[in-house]
Amino acid sequence: MTDSKLQVIPLGGLGEFGMNCTVIRYGEDIILVDCGMMFPDAELLGVDLVMPDLTFLKEHQSQVRALILTHGHEDHIGAVPYLLSEIDVPVYGTPFTLSLVERRMEEYDLEKEPRLIKVKPKQAIAVGPFKIEFIHVTHSIVSAVALAITTPLGVIIHTGDFKVDPTPTDNELFDLHTLADYGKRGVLLLLSDSTNADRPGYTESERAVKPRMEEIFSRAEKRIVVSCFSSSIHRIQLVLDLAEEYGRRVAVIGRSMTSVTEIAHSHGLLSIPDGILLRPQDAMDLPANKVAFLVSGTQGEPMSALSRVAVDNHKHVSVERGDTVVLSSRIIPGNEKAIFRMIDHMSRRGADVMYGSMNPPLHVSGHGSIEEMKLVLNLVRPRFFMPIHGEFRQLSKHARLAEHLRFAGLEESFVMDTGDILEFDQHGARKAGRVTVGHVCIDSGSVDDVVQEMVIRDRRLLSEDGIVLAIIAINRHTGKLESPPEIVSRGFNVGADGSSFTDAAKGIVAKTLESSSKEEKTDWGVMKEKVRADLKRYIVKETSRRPLILPVIMEV
């Protein structure tokens, strides 16, 4: 590759929700924009987190100059500890975003102290051949920024996640002027959030939630339990303000809710009225109409605070008849069963549970809808456009939207897959091959607990076809069977005639041992493989199923 080529390579976040991670490379210099994780789907049994495969970055780690963060949501910062455990690189972000990164770092034991460098909107930094300006945007989390990355071949605008909120609760408006200035001067490439590309109109302002919340606080006769994303500082501020207005004190419940609230308050992003906070252990002693709870766990995660409250298993909070429970969040696809099960538990106990679509709304999206996407496209007017952040249907809709606008100067839109290389030179832009990408599955939140594909395959096999143990007792001196083999199965249904199947399987194992030479019998590795192969052949033939077969040889 010559120095005159610029490459944009998504390592995650295209064709999927989460794992947002984009490489921008010029010559021998690389910067990385965001490094997020996503939660696993049901097929990844026992996996807690999924992170992008960073093989490309490891192979070129001497060229990686910086990691630039747009905001503090987990799908943009969740894999930062995993990256820093592999590559020592400076991390740039707003103070609040970096504080959330530091909170995640506490769970990991990194060899080197991370280099976290604070920046603020309107500030510009130089990293190798890149100049990066941070542009304030409105989103469902505070301190979110877009990036204007000036390269030797032109300007790349990366929107991060955004919506164009005309009335944000903190009065910090989307900096459309700076975006428009870059548009006037000329933009080579726009990378823009596509999450709501299938939603017409405008996304409602954060202030649209206030009328519904006011109604709830004004009419609730007993306790109010509000659950929202812990990163929704605007929503938390609204609950605190309404609690003060209606004479209630607030208990903050859940580890993530408590820590993010503390971080936001320490940065002056959350104003907590004097005397309004209450220790969780004291909350149930107050009159029911004098208390409100802020609880994490909107998605029904099994051990989250709200899930434990729902089944009356929380040491400080319980929901009783007449209490009002408010889920001020969206239902993330895939979590429906867990959320509705949690709602059912609270409804059984007589609580009034409010959730889902309402007018006025309980929740508004943090992502721009079609009209906001049009606005950004018209302001930036790029030569080339590449939609990011979303599944393929959203990316393709966003690309068609850009083509329909037909503003002067747009030469081409690129709908890319994770791993595709978009390459620029003096002659234009084109797709130019692929790099290694994929998913890294993490079992318990530690970067050391990477789950291999083989482990997930075995878990899937166990869940679908069960397990069969062949237990064999062999005399160590003679190599003969001390007793007939035992067959134990779990999660493997052998039908009504189970005893004859088991007897036949025992016979297969005994026959395998009898037909083996003395030398084979002394090599237990060989014997296990022979038993496994013969049992597998028999079981597949008889049942058409493929359980996990584990021969266990005991020396007597």
In the sheet with 21-26, reading across from the earlier edge strand, the strands are: 116-118, 91-93, 64-68, 29-33, 21-26, 6-12, 420-425, 428-434
Q: What does the chain come to in residues?
A: 556
Residues 6+ apart with CB under 8 A from 262: none
Amino acid type, 359: N
State the number of CA atoms in the 13 A half-sphere of 490 facing the CB. Answer: 6
Helices (H), 79-143: 80-86, 95-105
Q: Which tokens sit at 407?
A: 């503003």
Three-state DSSP class for residue 354: strand
Give the contacts of 268 (CB within 8 A, at least 6 positions apart). Answer: none
Q: Where are the alpha helices (DSSP H) in 273-391?
A: 280-283, 305-310, 336-348, 370-380
Instruction: Determine the 3-state secondary structure of 322 from DSSP.
Output: coil
10 Å Cβ neighbour count for 14? 27
Give the distance from CA 250 to its chain's centroid: 29
- Region label for 337, one of left (φ > 0), alpha (ψ between -120 and 50) or beta (otherwise): alpha
Half-sphere exposure of 409 (CA within 13 A, CB side): 17
The DSSP code sequence of 150-175 is EETTEEEEE--S-B--SS-TT-----
Report, as residue numbers or ranges, the catalytic residues: 193, 367
Nearest to 7 by CA among 25, 28, 34: 25
Q: Residue 360, preceding bond cis, omega within 30 degrees?
A: yes
Q: Which residue has the tokens 């003679």?
A: 478
Measured at the alpha carbon of residue 174, what is the angle toward residues 170 and 179, in degrees to the nearest 5?
A: 160
Q: What residues contact 144, with CB distance under 8 A and at least 6 apart?
A: 70, 71, 94, 136, 137, 138, 160, 161, 162
- Residue pair 235/68 in contact (Cβ under 8 Å)? The answer is no
Question: Half-sphere exposure of 264 toward its Cβ, with a 13 Å CA cutoff?
Answer: 23
As a whole number of angstroms, the distance between CA 251 and CA 509 comes to 62
Given the structure tokens 């206030």, which residue do they identify?
210
- Nearest-angstrom CA–CA distance, 47 and 363: 29
SS3 494: coil
Pair 223, 288: CB distance under 8 Å: yes
CB 498 within 8 A of CB 487: no
Distance of alpha carbon 426 from alpha carbon 296, whole angstroms: 51
